[in-house]
Structure 1
Amino acid sequence: MPQSIREQLMALAEPDYRDFSAKLLPDHVKLLGVRLPHLRRLAKEIAKDDWREYLSSASDEFFEEVMLQGMVIGAAKTDLSESFHLISSFLPKIDNWSVCDSFCASLKPLAHQPDPLLDFIIPHLSSQEEFSVRFALVMLLDYFITPFYLDKVFACVNGVKHPGYYVKMAAAWCISICYIRFPEETLSFWENCGLDSFTYQKSIQKSLESKRVTGERREILLRLREKIRQS
């Protein structure tokens, strides 16, 4: 008799890794301790079989079970309409940054159709649910920080008003990636943006933390940060 998904996950679980991961996640998250490469491999195997049946009956009890569902959605071969339906059904299950960000990373195949993907993402930026907004922001930073979409990314981030911590951190992260790739355009954005003080300062801090920001680009940020502190 084949092992159930739960049994397979438990066989892959590492107590030491579980204890380490638990320090990075909210207390309510129930962990088994399965590493991401194992989850990705299992997701690919499920996606080759009856993945619709799996998703319809999958358990949400453990962190890894929810993470796995997101990865299966990313790996499943289907059309854009069904993908968007699956994503919409999955979003309410996200209750931590790790599942959110890994889910976004698993959706890379959808980036080949950027315009409909962007149309799908944008309404989530005004959601009342913290992780639905974070989902939209992380999708922007993963797939849309390009010359063609940069102004749209700035406008989207500037329009986010959700007060959640994980939203603000995602917005700051997004703008920091913009600065790494497009420093002059991002400086212009900072001059006239409507970001709240926390997000604004975090976006500069996260830019400074990047090893790709050196020399004059780093000095500009240091001066900008000092100017903010004195204001």
Structure 2
Amino acid sequence: MRWVEDRLRELADTDDQYRKFNARVVATADPATMLGVRVPRLRRLAREVSRSDGRIAFLAELPHHWYEEYLVHAFVLNETREVAQATRLLDALLPFVDNWCVCDALNPRAFHDGQAMGGRTAEALVPLAKRWMASDHTYTRRFGISILMRDLLGDDFDPTQLRQAIAADNGEHYVRMMIAWYLAEALVSHRDDALAAIALPELDPQLRRMAIRKGIESLRVPAETKDTLRRLRG
């Protein structure tokens, strides 16, 4: 919508340094689509959009032109409280996502609400994660893995989920980075299962090294576990 674009231009940094920095960090997004708006300002704009009469129209307006429009879209979508609606909105948006930053910004409130899930979080989310992890689109697949990490490492964890994530490996860097991140996070709360997954013979050696590095770099992984990871690294 035009008013959103106008607001983005108003909120952009007056110099070009942040836009250039962001272009380097995000890497896969087209720098020509970046205006250079900082995330806190985008979150404030998302609240404006959410409260406006144009919320539904904005979420339906795909594809967007600006990188920052996609981030605002993600933040507005995240406020969705119904699983079915969040799923429909995600299915519409994900094919247009072309970078890790927008992908990782997606974190719908509905997926954390036990009441919205009817008390059956795993039953609701595992099939969705599997479907998204089977996508040929890099960032849809990455998002599916993120569901296992963000929403299912607590009481709804099952060791088979680690193998599901590993099976999503298609050799693409941004997919592997999410799998490695997930395995490293699993080390915190499910140490033995995560170590067993990292040691699986069928795990690609590069992915194993990535997961080990993430685990060793993590401030949340205990020193004893890091020693085990170093031995696995060889």
Q: Which TM-score bucket, shorter chain as reference?
A: 0.7 to 0.9
Q: Residue 135 of structure 1: CA displacement?
A: 0.8
Aligned-pair CA distance for 1:172: 0.7
1:38 and 2:37 correspond: no
Task: Give CA-to-partner distance per residue, 1:162-191, whole Å, 9 cap, x none.
Answer: 221111111111101111222222122233
RMSD: 1.9
Aligned-residue offset at 1:25: 2.0
Establish whether residue 137 from structure 1 lines up as the match of residue 141 from structure 2. Answer: no
Looking at structure 1, the residues matched to 140 and 46 of structure 2 have their Cα atoms a distance apart, in angstroms, of: 22
Alignment of 1:93-104 (within 5 A): 93-103=96-106
| DSSP-derived class of the 2:159 partner | helix
Of residues 86, 89, 94, the one that matches 1:83 is: 86
Does structure 2 retain, via aligned residues, the 8 Å contact 1:122–1:156? yes
SS in 1 for 2:25: coil
Q: Distance in 2 between matches of 1:46 and 1:184?
A: 45
Give the 5 Å matches for 1:109-128.
109-112=110-113, 113=117, 114=121, 115-128=123-136
The AA in structure 2 aligned to 1:16 is Q
Task: Kindly indicate whether residue 73 of structure 2 is the aligned counterpart of residue 69 of structure 1.
Answer: yes
Cα separation, 2, equivalents of 1:84 and 1:204: 32
Deviation, 1:72, is: 1.3
In the alignment, the residues of structure 2 paired with residue 193 and residue 145 of structure 1 have an alpha-carbon distance, to the nearest angstrom, of 23
Aligned runs of 1:193-208 on 2, under 5 Å?
Answer: 194-208=202-216
- Work out whether residues 172 and 206 of structure 1, in 8 Å CA contact, stay in contact via their aligned partners in 2: yes
Q: Does 1:168 align with 2:176?
A: yes
Moved over 4 A (4+): none
Moved more, 92-101 or 145-154: 145-154
User: Gaps spanning 5+ residues in structure 2: where?
Assistant: none
The code of the aligned residue for 1:10 comes to R
1:53 lines up with 2:57 in the alignment: yes
Superposed CA offset, 1:31-62 (max 9, x none): 11111121122212212223112223366111
**The residue matched to 1:127 in structure 2 has which SS?**
coil
Rounded Cα–Cα distance in structure 1 between residues aligned with 2:89 and 2:144: 15
Say which of 171, 174, 199 aligns to 1:191: 199
- The whole-number CA distance in structure 2 between the counterparts of 1:149 and 1:193 is 22
| Structure 1 unpaired stretches of 5+ | 227-231
TM-score, normalising length: structure 2: 0.86
Asked if structure 2 preserves the Cα contact closer than 8 Å seen for 1:58 and 1:65, the reply is no
Say if 1:208 and 1:218, in contact at 8 Å, map to a contact too.
yes
Cα displacement (A) at 1:10: 0.9
The answer as to whether partners of 1:137 and 1:170 remain within 8 angstroms in 2 is yes
